[in-house]
A = this chain, B = another copy of it.
Amino acid sequence: MENTTSTKMIYEGKTINLRVDDVELTNGNMSKREIVEHPGAVAILAITAQNDVFFVRQFRKPIEKELLEIPAGKLDEKEDPAACAVRELGEEVGMKPGTLRQIAFYYSSPGFASEKLYIYLATDLEPVDVAKPEDEILEPLKIPFNEALAMARQGRIEDGKTLIALLLAADLMEA
Beta-carbon contact of B107 and A158 below 8 Å? yes
- Whether A137 is near chain B, meaning CB under 8 Å from some CB there, is yes
Instruction: Say whether A67 faces chain B, with CB atoms less than 8 Å apart.
Output: yes
Known: A18-B18, A116-B63. A109 touches B111 (CB 8 A): no
| Residue numbers in B under 8 Å from A13 (CB-CB) | 20, 34
- Which one of B1, B16, B29, B159 lies within 8 Å of A59 (CB-CB)? B1
Q: Which of A45-53, A122-130, A164-172 contacts B (4 or more CB under 8 A)?
A: A164-172
Pair A33/B10 contact, Cβ less than 8 Å:
no
Which residues of B sit under 8 angstroms from A135, Cβ to Cβ? 25, 29, 31
* Chain B residues within 8 Å of A105, by CB: 155, 158
- From B26, B34, B134, B168, A14 is in contact (CB under 8 Å) with B34
Contact assessment for A160 and B107 in the assembled complex, using a CB-CB cutoff below 8 Å: yes
* Bound-state Cα–Cα, A128 to B15, Å: 43
- Mark contacts of A111-140 with chain B using CB atoms, 8 A cut-off: 1 yes-contact digit, 0 otherwise: 111111100000000000000001101000
Render A59-75 as a binary contact track against B, CB cut-off 8 A, 1 for contact: 11111000101001010
